[in-house]
Structure 1
Amino acid sequence: MAAVTTVVTARDTGERLSAREGIVFQRCEAGRKADVQLDPEQAYQTIIGFGGAFTEAAAYTLSRMSAGQQAEIIRRYFHPEEGLNYSMGRVHIHSCDFALGNYTYVQDEDTELASFDISRDHKWVLPMIKEAMAVKGGPFTMLASPWSPPAWMKSNGEMNNGGSLRPEYAKVWARYYTKFIEAYRKEGVPIWAVSVQNEPAAVQTWDSCIYSAEEERDFVKNHLGPAMHAAGMDDVNIVIWDHNRDIMIERVTPILSDPEAAKYVWGTGFHWYGGEEFGKVAKTHELFPDKHLLFTEGCQEGGVRLGEWFTGERYGRNMIGDLNAWTEGYLDWNLVLDETGGPNHVGNLCDAPVIADTVTDEIHFNSSYYYIGHFSKFIAPGAVRIGLESAAEDVLSTAFRNPDGSIAVVLMNEGEVDRTVTLGLGEMLAECRLPAHSITTHVVR
């Protein structure tokens, strides 16, 4: 008889990642079919992990809280048992919109990068990363992404409002990534991967830079890939696209179809802002099965939404949709924001799973925090997605076999009424009650 741990988060109850009596598997009656049938023999992608972004805004906000509250936020995200068990992180290469202003690591027109200096990151960003590493018990699988080259390298002469990389600075800009990786390594923060450019198809009022697919291909092929190899950093992965799902196929195809560019590319990063087109994620895998898929950013736009439930359901729906489409890891955006949904140097305020009120020193855990936890706490790095056939109407589901042999099944009911579904494993079957607007994780051992 399988032993099952059952954990529930439900809107209309006080349950938030709350343990319930585990479901009970019994031998299935002949001819009876489960609503959700697991097939542990069928194996898909291996999971890297789950995590969020160490932005300057997040780190600065954290620094404004009392010492006890700072420790609580870090614990609730990164502790393997008491927190969400985060094992991944994302950091911006100099400024992004969720920084306190535009900044770079070099002085103007320094084509030799002799002035390269990450001392600004020592103020807030690196201390937050190091505190999180200490609580987690080791380094993160860390992605680094640039939002814009320095203004003097760009066609529009500024970091904001789009513009493009001037061709004569492509070689210098490629070396900039290696300088960043080297500087972070010296701080004991290894960088696992870099993306070429955050959101290369969007002219933003904040730090941004436009690349066509062909320009991204040529930058990787002729500059970034060779620069990283020359620096002995061929163990650091390169992620392309790092933008929305809606046009990911047409954006990655010219790059991954070019063998000279593709040899440098680990895989494709993507965001959720362009719609929930999970079929395009799956199609990208189908077209390029030897490359990887990573969700690199998502958040609820438009400022703080304290107490809202739809934000958590957005996370749950997107995570299940992407994981079922071969995605190997999930990176949320800002780990923590202040009571305004910032700071953001151009007023692009957003929500985060954790809101820290810097006026009252209170911490608010949004529904998104708990929904993410239904995946990150129970699907371990190294877990493999397994086969699952579902006939359960209006119930979303995904399942993984963990390295310890346990099976984690996530079931989500976005509907207005409670539902009961049956879960099948081999010849065994269990009944699962899913409250309205809830998410449930069963871990079968």
Structure 2
Amino acid sequence: MTSWILALSILPSIVSSQDFASWGVSGGSGPRGGIGDGAHPVLQPQSFITDGYVPTSPNSTRQLAPGPAPLLVRNNGTSCSSTRRKVVVDSSTSGAQQEMLGFGHAWTDSTVEVFNQLEPELLDQLMGELFGQDGNNMGFMRHTIGSSDLSGVQYSYDDNGPSFNEGEPDPTLASFNLGTYGTQMAELLAKMGSYKGDVFLYGAPWSYPGWMKNNDLFIAPNDGGSHFLINNSLNPSYYNQAIRYLTDYVDAFRDYGVIVNGISLQNEPLNYQGGYPCMFLDAADEANLLQQGLGDAMHERGVKVLAYDHNTDQPAYPARVIQGAPDYVDAAAWHCYQGPVADYTILEFMTECSNTGLAPGTTNFWVAQNFIPAVRYGASGGSFWVLATDSNYGPHSPYGGCGSCSGSVFVNSSTVYEKTIDYYMVGHFSRYIRRGAVNHRILQGLQGGGTDWTAQFFAIAVQNPDQGWAVVFLNTFPADQEIDLTFTESGFIWQGTIPASSVVTWLLPSDQVLAINVALVMRHSLYRVKGALLLADKAVQE
């Protein structure tokens, strides 16, 4: 990832980035919201710290550990020290930018398989740590439609043959079936709703069934070469079947109590390599599918359409989809694997970014280094790649794909799982930034670029529904940073320390709560003064 800015002025501004009232939730009876919403307002300043070092042993680093709370030192817009880093947030209405939807990970077959290996009480504990209000409270989750490279067994929902690469055309989709693995995915997504009832869930296929493609293969050969896009691509003759396939998927998951809230038509549509499920899907194909019935089918079901779902180095792709199907595209989705950082003029999400090889003793800020710039340049949420694997980064495709993608959880056996540094890094965002929060522009105090790993000071300042603030800092410098954080409208200055090589989240009360606290302090002080005067008067009289 680089620190360049990508201006997509060619994209029509047809999507509001300020209202998620019509964006649904995946269902379930679990609690909604969390700290920072109207029911759980922040009443006192708080700080949480995660060290950037991958632990070498349990409890050897701080992991979402409570830290010294920032101090409200002055409220006149000035600071006493010229040596402190001054971070200024434009808290005015003109400084308000995009509304936030949430943060999370991706459900893959590897995640489902290793979770289902856990003893029931351990799975219950882990699900609470991932989705509960006292855990990471993740609210923006992706899942694979059919298999991906993070699947030990390869399949679509309509192979219509003895294996994924030996299917016959199924014009009426009579053989459509979630199968064993799709059913297990749906059942675990339904279980997620018992822990959090307001998850935004969106799906993405890695490939359509092989018989819908020009090469008739779900997975092209992994012979070291690139398979020319005209072969490993959708056959336009099967547009109607592709539309039916994605529509039947949404309906089938609903039968298990899972409401799909969003969809991208193809994961990484410009990736047509072999070795794992991939499929080239031109922007014109995406637009045609939407115009020829998929757009209506999705919107009738309350499903939002996310165009593109690939790297930001090809900005013309989402522009072409939007121009070709302007009534049906709700947002653009992009991945972190190529620069520049997206700066779309429409609603956008960072929908995939993967960490690899978390070597103990090394520093790893990859989550914050991608979530923070994404939000700064307009993303309303983000999801990292695989949620969980076994200790060998699997199960994954034996034919190709990512063999070292790591997630928030390693499941080592039916009785042992391990939360990685990514769990805690994702938590700095998903725990404390609520759905409906609004990101605000930071006017000064940030430093560093995307490849200058040891000299970055990044931050985002998000105003939660309770009108308090969640401010996430990334400090890759080898020295502590003493901070003066100022809000332009109130002039309040919060002081604190962002430790070297760390990610820190500050939770700050709203101005209204601060005013109440100040009134209580003044009243308490007045009572103390009155009490002291009464004691003094009594002593004089005696």
- Same fold by TM-score greater than 0.5: yes
Cα distance change on mapping 1:310 and 1:353 into 2, 3 Å: farther
Please tell me whether residue 154 in structure 1 is matched to residue 154 in structure 2. Answer: no
Please tell me whether residue 257 in structure 1 is matched to residue 319 in structure 2. Answer: no
* Whole-angstrom CA distance in 1 between matches of 2:242 and 2:76: 65
What per-residue deviation string (whole Å, max 9, x for no partner) do you get for residues 267-305 of structure 1?
111111124x22xx11x22xxxxx31011111124xx42
The unaligned stretches of length 5 or more in structure 2 are: 1-42, 54-59, 161-167, 221-226, 448-455, 510-542
* Whole-angstrom CA distance in 2 between matches of 1:296 and 1:52: 9
Q: Which residue of 1 aligns with 2:48?
A: 7
Superposition pairs for residues 150-299 of structure 1, below 5 Å? 150-161=209-220, 163-204=232-273, 205-228=275-298, 232-233=300-301, 235-247=302-314, 249-258=315-324, 261-275=325-339, 277-278=340-341, 281-282=342-343, 284-285=344-345, 291-299=346-354
Q: Aligned letter for 1:253? A: A
Whether the aligned pair in 2 keeps the contact of 1:306 and 1:364 (CA below 8 Å) is no
2:436 equivalent among 382, 403, 406: 382
Q: Alpha-carbon deviation of 1:183?
A: 0.8
Superposition pairs for residues 265-344 of structure 1, below 5 Å? 265-275=329-339, 277-278=340-341, 281-282=342-343, 284-285=344-345, 291-301=346-356, 304-307=357-360, 309-311=362-364, 313-344=365-396
Cα distance change on mapping 1:308 and 1:197 into 2, 3 Å: farther
Superposition pairs for residues 428-443 of structure 1, below 5 Å? 428-443=492-507
Cα distance change on mapping 1:30 and 1:89 into 2, 3 Å: closer
Whether the aligned pair in 1 keeps the contact of 2:446 and 2:459 (CA below 8 Å) is no
Whether the aligned pair in 2 keeps the contact of 1:170 and 1:223 (CA below 8 Å) is no
SS of residue paired to 2:333: strand
Q: Alpha-carbon deviation of 1:239?
A: 1.0
1:69 equivalent among 122, 127, 132: 122
Q: Which residue of 1 aligns with 2:172?
A: 112
SS of residue paired to 2:286: helix
Q: Alpha-carbon deviation of 1:87?
A: 1.4
* Whole-angstrom CA distance in 2 between matches of 1:244 and 1:320: 17
* Whole-angstrom CA distance in 1 between matches of 2:323 and 2:393: 40
Q: Aligned letter for 1:263? A: D
Whether the aligned pair in 2 keeps the contact of 1:175 and 1:227 (CA below 8 Å) is no
Q: Alpha-carbon deviation of 1:29?
A: 6.3
Cα distance change on mapping 1:309 and 1:380 into 2, 3 Å: farther
* Whole-angstrom CA distance in 2 between matches of 1:308 and 1:172: 50
Q: Which residue of 2 aligns with 1:55?
A: 108
Q: Aligned letter for 1:22? A: A
* Whole-angstrom CA distance in 1 between matches of 2:442 and 2:76: 20
SS of residue paired to 1:251: helix
Q: Which residue of 1 aligns with 2:203?
A: 144
Q: Percent identity?
A: 26
The unaligned stretches of length 5 or more in structure 1 are: 286-290
Q: After alignment, is 333-342 or 121-130 more displaced?
A: 121-130
Q: Which residue of 2 aligns with 1:288?
A: none
SS of residue paired to 1:26: strand
Superposition pairs for residues 414-429 of structure 1, below 5 Å? 414-425=476-487, 426-429=490-493
Q: Which residue of 1 aligns with 2:469?
A: 407
Please tell me whether residue 366 in structure 1 is matched to residue 420 in structure 2. Answer: yes
Whether the aligned pair in 1 keeps the contact of 2:77 and 2:486 (CA below 8 Å) is no
How many residue pairs get matched?
423
What is the TM-score of this pair, normalised by structure 1?
A: 0.89
Q: Which residue of 2 aligns with 1:354?
A: 409
* Whole-angstrom CA distance in 1 between matches of 2:212 and 2:478: 53
What per-residue deviation string (whole Å, max 9, x for no partner) do you get for residues 345-381 of structure 1?
13522111211113x8432222221111111111011
* Whole-angstrom CA distance in 2 between matches of 1:404 and 1:241: 34
Cα distance change on mapping 1:150 and 1:389 into 2, 3 Å: same
What per-residue deviation string (whole Å, max 9, x for no partner) do you get for residues 88-145 of structure 1?
2212221221122221222232211122222424653123222221122x25211011
Cα distance change on mapping 1:28 and 1:226 into 2, 3 Å: closer
Cα distance change on mapping 1:308 and 1:123 into 2, 3 Å: farther
SS of residue paired to 1:115: coil
Whether the aligned pair in 2 keeps the contact of 1:7 and 1:18 (CA below 8 Å) is yes
Cα distance change on mapping 1:30 and 1:146 into 2, 3 Å: closer
Cα distance change on mapping 1:96 and 1:112 into 2, 3 Å: same
Q: Aligned letter for 1:129? A: L
Q: Alpha-carbon deviation of 1:306?
A: 4.9
* Whole-angstrom CA distance in 2 between matches of 1:60 and 1:227: 31
Please tell me whether residue 130 in structure 1 is matched to residue 190 in structure 2. Answer: yes
Q: Which residue of 2 aligns with 1:44?
A: 97
Q: Aligned letter for 1:331? A: S
Cα distance change on mapping 1:329 and 1:35 into 2, 3 Å: same
* Whole-angstrom CA distance in 2 between matches of 1:197 and 1:94: 12
Whether the aligned pair in 2 keeps the contact of 1:407 and 1:444 (CA below 8 Å) is yes
SS of residue paired to 1:111: coil
* Whole-angstrom CA distance in 2 between matches of 1:416 and 1:202: 38
SS of residue paired to 2:153: coil
Q: Aligned letter for 1:170? A: Y
Whether the aligned pair in 2 keeps the contact of 1:46 and 1:384 (CA below 8 Å) is yes
How big is the alpha-carbon RMSD for the aligned residues of Structure 1 and Structure 2? 2.1
* Whole-angstrom CA distance in 1 between matches of 2:198 and 2:179: 20
Whether the aligned pair in 2 keeps the contact of 1:7 and 1:19 (CA below 8 Å) is yes
